[in-house]
Structure 1
Amino acid sequence: MKFLSKVVVSSMSVVAMYVLASLLVDNWLQPKKISSFSTTKSPYDTSPFTKVYPEVLAQQSKISQDDIYLTIKTCEKNHKTRLPLIFKTWWTGIRQQAYFFTDTDDEAITKQTDGHLIVTGCGKTHAPWWCHMDDDNYVNPSLLVKALNQYNWEEPFYVGRPSREGVQYRRYKGQRVPLYFATTGAGMCISRNMSELMVPWMRNGSFVQTCKDLSQPDDVTFGFIATNRLGINLTRRNDFNSHIQNLAKVPTEELLSQVVLSYHLRNVINITDPAFPFNEDRSRLLSYHCKKYPETEWCPKDSKAI
């Protein structure tokens, strides 16, 4: 699956799971279905269709142990030092609700916990954002940072651009469901908070199974989980561009302000006075780079600004 294998710009793991133990199982481990879209726009969303994030119940008369999803963040160096003490003591009384998040697979612990060991890359990166790009993208890192700084990574954010306007409909487990998603062809970013909410949909093959149940690729499935299952608005960025668009229509004067660009065959951006002939620069991104960074060693000395 592309979601699992493509190169990322800012890799991020689904860690910091300690916050999940305070949430009720019914509100995140088994998210409630939301039957319809709301046309009320959030202050962060410019998409034509949004979802209202389901509020976590503030009060619950009584809960049982089954209402708790307990996570323990660990790492490889602690597998044989700290975990044995846990296994020997309090874990035995809550083993069905306890999950371990770590950075390395461990067959012995997986067996001991009945499959409750989840490899996340814990301890190797704690980036506030995770961004997923395709290999036909051109990313402007400084503009990406500037764009993401407009949002609070401690809140659930799903940032990108849909492949088409409006909502699509597909079948999911016998039901007709709406789909509104960010295409990875234009790049997609999620906040750390969002990644935490995605955990139950990503572990133990759940994501792959949802792809199969929906009969859709990874980016569509991700959007389905985010907007339809979790109720997180897609925060639309029109400066994220994919080859699905007519790239020649991106105004020339706005090219340098685009966060993500792309190309496909002859669907390319319109560059005035390109630095290279088309047969040497079919994507037009070499010329674009020289317009943006004319001091680059391999750029012609007479590269002109856009």
Structure 2
Amino acid sequence: MWVECIILFISQFISKMLISFVSFSVTYGRNSSWIFFCEEDTRIQVVKLLETLGRFDGSKEWFLGKALYDEESTIIHHYAFAENPTAFTFPDFAAGWALSIPLVNKLAKKLKSEPLKSDFTIDLKHEIALYIWQKGEGPHLTPVPEFCTDDVNSYKVDHCATTFSNFLPLCGEPVKKEDVFVAVKTCRKFHGDRIPVVKQTWEREAALIEYYSDYADISIPTIDLGIPNTDRGELLTVVVKFCTNNCVKTVRFMDDMCIFIFRLRRLLSCYDPNEPVFLGERYGYGLGTGGYSYITGGGGMVFSRIAVQKLLASKCRCYSMDAPDDMVLGMCFSGLGIPITHSPLFHQARPMDYPKGYLSHQIPVSFHKHWNIDPVKVYFTWLAPNTEESLNGKKAGYNREDL
């Protein structure tokens, strides 16, 4: 039995991954029983993995993985299974997941006759499970306890075929505070409730920060962009403003975000500021029909200066005042041939919008939205520093389980 391990970050989105099943089925189907997918930080005990897969009949259709589920319906999954969100499970990619070749062949055949119909790609692990399930006509995910996300150094991993390196990347010294320019997008109606939260929590971590609004408020202070507020526009104007600053990277945040700047600076040590970098949580639009990827604005966006310079030189602009600026930027960078760099540490939604099992092996950089939560509590639970080396998620007397 052969097991092919495909590194997941090569094909983050459902269209590319599922379409690649066609070539997998042709290339590997004759000699292999399984295809195993994993992330770049997944650690594999190959002998244990082969033993685990050997328990299942490879001539049948199997979809194996570590099961995640929603405790309540969530916007990032389009409120699917609202009556009982725990009923549908999907794989934690960090633990790895496997498909038997008969199932791969079935999916490949289906793709040839029925192209993908989804406009937006938001959470691949959930969407691919939905595609495989086919409204009950295909297999559910079968939980496999040997597919683990425990840290490789944990005492609990003796039974595990896979483990996961639970660490925040560091590729040298963290980027200096002075090399990160933070732009916060706000508007007059939120000056009184959202901005005080920012100032109470993460503003102190930023050496260079400016607030951009539709109104100049000297008490904050904010900079009037000179254009009316809209729910979705204005970002390109903020990017243009950035080019007057001499920083290496710019970061654009919403006024209802929580962010740990030190973790961001540490993460940015792994990226070359002399290259065009566009970093954040990647979404997709129309990827099955020649669409494009983009960084969702709610989770925060990181641009290198080179990326911004190339963007402005291209003359790419929003096509209307209320155009979705994050999607427009995705189109612009796609047209420039600048790749979108995905990081799962940025989050478009609140902590409770993600499965606890998914967040348990993360060291998050950001969360978004103040809706129906105490954002200060979220910050001190998930993100607030006590020391720069203490990154274990237990902060300021709160427990994550309380949220």
Q: Tell me, yes or no, whether TM beats 0.5.
A: no
TM-score, length of structure 1 as denominator length: 0.44
